[in-house]
Copies of this chain bind each other. A is one copy, B any other.
Amino acid sequence: MYLGIDLGGTNIAVGLVDRDGNILHKDKVKTRADRHYSEIVKDMAELSKKVTEESGFSKSEIEWVGIGSPGSCDSERGVVVSASNLNFKNTPIREEFQKHWNVPVYLANDADCAAYGEAMRGNAKGTSSSVTVTLGSGVGGGVIINGNIMTGVNFGSELGHMIINFDGEKCKCGNRGCWEVYASANALVRQTREAMKQNPESLMWKEAGSLEGVSGRTAFSAAKKGDAAGQKTVDKYLEFVAIGISNIIEIFQPEKILIGGGVANEGESLLQPIRNFCKSSRSTIITTAALGNDAGIIGAAFLGAQYAKKIK
């Protein structure tokens, strides 16, 4: 049995996962991210024990605990190097956790855990190379090569900061034209609002109620009802998504690319235009992620499978 912990800015989620990748029991508590890390990690350990007990297993049956954290993670040392939304800076998560429960602890970036979960038990199961892209408030991604999480010297891939338009809009990171400026769910909301302002007659107004009511679904819903401005917004957005996907194919040539995040619920109306744009992708299969929020828990729970050989 393994425990997988998905540490987020809002919630700490813990799942008890068996060798087949089934989550037998899970629970969550609020992160309350403004606290000192020692209190957050204490809650992670307490919840881990609770989930274990509630599922009828004893602590000694847990082989290891895996943690997926936002930010840059040094898996070797078990340290979160930096995670701005948690105010973590060189935070010794493993050491702190083991003060409460002396069990092997593995750590990796949360997007990497989600990609690993999809590769182990989700829509990339059975492949040796896959990339899972999450279109959320930013664009995150995890890369699996030869069945392992790809991490570089700075700990993990920042696919969202690939420049796709060097004369384009400024990104928070300082560069111009990063992928996430165009392809995140936030970008889609911004693009939808602009299209609404230019098209006062568009159905998107009815879908959203107001500019404030706009979500990632607004343009998709209007498009499905035949709204031309909605369709145009969707088409342009999906082209932006596809450009980054096309780059990922050129760079990694993975067996599969999975798209996750709320927008991925659009299914085929999301996937088909992207596949058309990437038609030269030959054998790379483009599809949606399967596990949703569970991917992070399952991936974290399986971290030991990758790291146990390398880390004491």
Is there a chain B Cβ closer than 8 Å to A70's Cβ?
no
Is there a chain B Cβ closer than 8 Å to A243's Cβ?
yes
Q: Chain B nearest CB: distance from A146 CB in Å?
A: 8
Contact in complex: B250, A161 (CB < 8 Å): yes
Is there a chain B Cβ closer than 8 Å to A155's Cβ?
yes
> What B residues does A251 contact at CB under 8 A?
157-159, 162, 251
Contact in complex: B284, A243 (CB < 8 Å): no
> What B residues does A150 contact at CB under 8 A?
145, 252
Copies of this chain present in the complex amount to: 2
Contact in complex: B161, A164 (CB < 8 Å): no
Given contacts A145-B145, A173-B280, A175-B246, contact A253 B162 (CB under 8 A): no
Q: What does the 1/0 interface line of A143-167 toward B look like (CB < 8 Å)?
A: 0011010111111111101111111
Given contacts A159-B250, A166-B164, A250-B158, contact A255 B174 (CB under 8 A): no
Which of B129, B151, B165, B249 has a CB less than 8 Å from the CB of A167? B165
> What B residues does A153 contact at CB under 8 A?
129, 253-255, 283-284
Contact in complex: B162, A250 (CB < 8 Å): yes
Contact in complex: A253, B163 (CB < 8 Å): no
Q: Chain B nearest CB: distance from A226 CB in Å?
A: 28
Contact in complex: B247, A154 (CB < 8 Å): no
Nearest CB in chain B to that of A247: its residue: B162
Contact in complex: B174, A253 (CB < 8 Å): no
> What B residues does A35 contact at CB under 8 A?
none
* A166 and B150 alpha carbons, distance in the complex (Å): 27
Q: Chain B nearest CB: distance from A94 CB in Å?
A: 21
* A60 and B247 alpha carbons, distance in the complex (Å): 45
> What B residues does A173 contact at CB under 8 A?
280
Is there a chain B Cβ closer than 8 Å to A282's Cβ?
yes
Which residues of A, 273-300, contact B by the 8 Å Cβ criterion? 280, 282-284
Contact in complex: B250, A151 (CB < 8 Å): no
* A156 and B284 alpha carbons, distance in the complex (Å): 13
Q: Chain B nearest CB: distance from A293 CB in Å?
A: 25
Given contacts A157-B250, A159-B251, A252-B157, contact A152 B129 (CB under 8 A): yes
Q: Chain B nearest CB: distance from A304 CB in Å?
A: 18
Which residues of A, 14-50, contact B by the 8 Å Cβ criterion? none
The residues of A with any CB-CB pair to B shorter than 8 Å are 129, 145-146, 148, 150-159, 161-167, 173-175, 177, 239-240, 243, 246-247, 249-255, 280, 282-284
Q: Name 5 interchain pairs, CB-CB below 8 A, sorted by A.
A: A145-B146, A153-B284, A158-B251, A163-B243, A166-B240
Question: Shortest 7 CB-CB distances between A and B: which pairs?
Answer: A152-B253, A154-B253, A158-B250, A161-B250, A153-B255, A162-B247, A153-B283
